[in-house]
Amino acid sequence: MLQKNSAFAGVPGPVVVIVMDGYGIPKHAVGSAIEAARKPTLDRLFARYPNITLRAHGTAVGMPSDDDMGNSEVGHNAIGAGQVYAQGAALVANAIAEGTIWQGQAWQEVVAAAKTGALHFIGLFSDGNVHSHIDHLKAMVVQAKAEGVKTVRIHALLDGRDVPETSALDYVVPFEAFLGEISTDGFDARIASGGGRQYITMDRYDANWPMVARGWRTHVLGEGPQFANATAAVEGLRASHPGTIDQDLPEFVIAEFDENGNGKPIGTIEDGDAVVLYNFRGDRAIEITRAFVEDDFSEFDRVRHPRVTYAGMLQYDGDLQLPSRFLVPPPAIRDTSGEWFSKTGLAQFACSETQKFGHVTYFWNGNRSSRFDGETWQEVPSDVVPFEQRPWMKAAEITDAMIAALQSGQYKVLRCNYANGDMVGHTGNFRAATMAIEAVDLALGRLLKAVDKAGGVALVTADHGNADEMFELDKKTREPAVNKDGSYKAKTAHTLNPVPLILYDNVSGGRLGLKQSETAGLSNIAATVANLLGLQKHDKWDDSLLEVK
Ligand code: 3PG
Ligand code: CO
């Protein structure tokens, strides 16, 4: 149990943490959908309530370096756990640098299987460091050759979401050149299939299984439009789908063609092969992993279920042991706020729409898919549409659910995530992102009234930036980059900007404030919530930011 805090007895009502996903503090007005949005509620909060900025990227959230942007996994882990752990990106990079990954049983089993079958790598083909890093893939290909594997096939998911929106060839061209160079002495490594990450394979939270089914047919069965190599595939698909950005490009299959032009896929996945999913982040890795490892599987018709030696880069879900074979142990996130509020007997409520539901539950609780005692989770089903067409998403419905939970009087600690700034920010559509922020602002206005009625307080914050920078920045000047024709280049990825922390408090009579410091970050939120509840923080949590006058 968390101990009582003698400095402050706690607010009378509940404490609500509101995560505005993808809402950073913009550096430039140009390109900021947040600056452009009409947002009277947020303007009032910033003007009248205690507010500070929090670090939400780089080492402050367990990324390898401060050049790494934040993301929802590491952000929600930090908020929920109140601690910073070295995250997947860092753990894998270290395991490769130190060679421990090659000594692990999982890698050895993969290599043993691949001596008779082929070794397949499936993953996000990018250096975004959010789900994967292409350098990890490269290191594994080199090591596989050194250990005597003969055939490597890569199933490349084009990114354009954690990296510039039409950058696929910046990765594919040099990588195919590297594969050509290393394919000597009987070693044969090639890209075998792929497609846009938002079109195949990388669905999350059961939002869109047909996406995963398309990925399965592409990677495993080798079904799809055929090309001679991945460079030709990207060029060909771009030509046949003008205006489609990388993340949305359709699937492709690499084939060898006979003299009649009939193509045979070079990398279908067969019994006896080994498959490594080289993404380290779990949310978008779980569904395709289930399709490979579950005997009894009914999410879609697999047509053929090859018996393979399957490994994840990490274990994506410790509760479900998914998958049981993994190359690098995941961060051991313990003593989260969810766990300790539960042990203290506080009822907790968590809500978001499907696209971010696992963020406020699974990531929040340290990548655990099961609930702690006294936790209620409510999911609002997301639309399955391109979100620039519905920038309001489910902000209204999430708000309804939160208001009902507050009115029930049942919960002492509540949390929700508004997906809009992030999900619409990722489309690169400036106008839609502006509306996304306006939708959140409208929702906040309603929710905060219910917080007042319940005698509670709210912490309004975000997990990382996105809608705050909708144009790519010039690499040198860090100013929005201007194209030759004077236009800007749309940006789909997260940002390095800090995020706000606002204390919405109408109950303490002005006794409460927030401490700004150089190091204040997302991991300080859990202790702040504890203090607002009149409790001391857990020893392992980073310090509270609450100031009591
Ligand atoms: C995604 O998976 O959508 C992006 O790679 C990262 O976005 P998120 O970290 O906000 O979920
Ligand atoms: Co995002």
- In this structure, the number of other CB atoms found within 10 A of the CB of residue 99 comes to 10
Cβ of 284 below 6 Å from ligand 1: yes
The helix or strand, by DSSP H or E, that contains position 18, with its residue range, turns out to be strand 15-20
Distances (CA, A) of 411 to 13, 160, 337, 475, 529: 9, 40, 15, 47, 14
pLDDT digit string (tens) for 237-294?
Answer: 999 999 999 999 999 999 999 999 999 999 999 999 999 999 999 999 999 999 999 9
Cβ atoms of 424 and 393 within 8 Å: the answer is: yes
Note the pTM of the prediction, 2 decimals: 0.97
Q: Which ligand is nearest to the CA of 75?
A: 1
Mean pLDDT of 342-366: 98
- Determine if ligand 1 sits within 6 Å of the CB of residue 495: no
CA distance 115 to 513: 62
Atom of ligand 1 nearest to the CA of 202: 2
* Neighbouring residues of 62: CB distance < 8 A, sequence distance ≥ 6: 74, 77, 78, 84, 85, 86, 87, 90, 331
- Chain-centroid distance of CA 258 in Å reads 42
- Strand 252-257 relative to strand 188-196, pairing: antiparallel
CB 321 within 8 A of CB 169: no
Average pLDDT over residues 142-151: 98
The average pLDDT across 26-44 equals: 97
Give pLDDT tens digits for 423-463. 999 999 999 999 999 999 999 999 999 999 999 999 999 99
159 Cα–ligand 1 center, Å: 11
Please give the C-alpha separations between residue 278 and each of 222, 281, 526, in angstroms, as whole numbers.
20, 9, 31
Q: Please tell me which residue in 6, 65, 72, 382 is annotated as part of the active site.
A: 72
**Nearest-angstrom CA–CA distance, 450 and 14:** 11
In 326-419, where does DSSP find H-type helix? Answer: 337-343, 354-358, 395-408
Could you tell me if the CB of 72 is within 6 A of ligand 1?
A: yes
Q: How far are the Cα atoms of 71, 154, 213, 225, 490 from residue 486, in angstroms, in the given order? A: 31, 39, 42, 36, 13
Collapse the DSSP code of 492 into the 3-class scheme (helix H, G, I; strand E, B; otherwise coil) and give the result: coil
Test site for ligand 1: of 129, 130, 199, most ligand atoms within 8 A of the Cβ = 130
The 10s digit of each residue's pLDDT in 42-68 is 999 999 999 999 999 999 999 999 999
186 Cα to the center of ligand 2, angstroms: 42
- 475 falls in which pLDDT band (50, 70, 90)? confident
| Residue 156 backbone phi and psi in degrees, to 5 | -100, 115
326's CB contacts (< 8 A; 6+ apart) are 106, 311, 312, 313, 314, 315
- The pLDDT value given to residue 286: 98
pLDDT band at residue 165 under the 50/70/90 scheme: very high
pLDDT tens profile 78-95? 999 999 999 999 999 999
pLDDT tens digits, 83-132: 999 999 999 999 999 999 999 999 999 999 999 999 999 999 999 999 99
Cα–Cα–Cα angle for 421, 422, 424, nearest 5°?
Answer: 75
- State which ligand 1 atom lies nearest to the alpha carbon of 283: 2
For ligand 1, say whether the CB of 197 is within 6 Å of any of its atoms: no
**Pick from 231, 227, 237: nearest CA to 257:** 227
Per-residue pLDDT averaged across 33-37, rounded? 98
Ligand 1: nearest atom to the Cα of 72: 9
Indicate if ligand 1 lies below 6 Å from the C-beta of 161.
Answer: yes
Helices (runs of H) and strands (runs of E) counted in the chain: 17, 17
Question: Residue 541, Cα to own-chain centre: how many angstroms?
Answer: 23
Residue 65 bears catalytic tag: no
> What are the structural domains, with CATH classification, of the chain?
15-86+332-548 (3.40.720.10), 89-312 (3.40.1450.10)
pLDDT for residue 478:
87
State the DSSP code for 275: E
- Round the CA-based radius of gyration of the chain to a whole number and report it: 24
Asked whether the predicted pLDDT for residue 209 surpasses 90, the reply is: yes
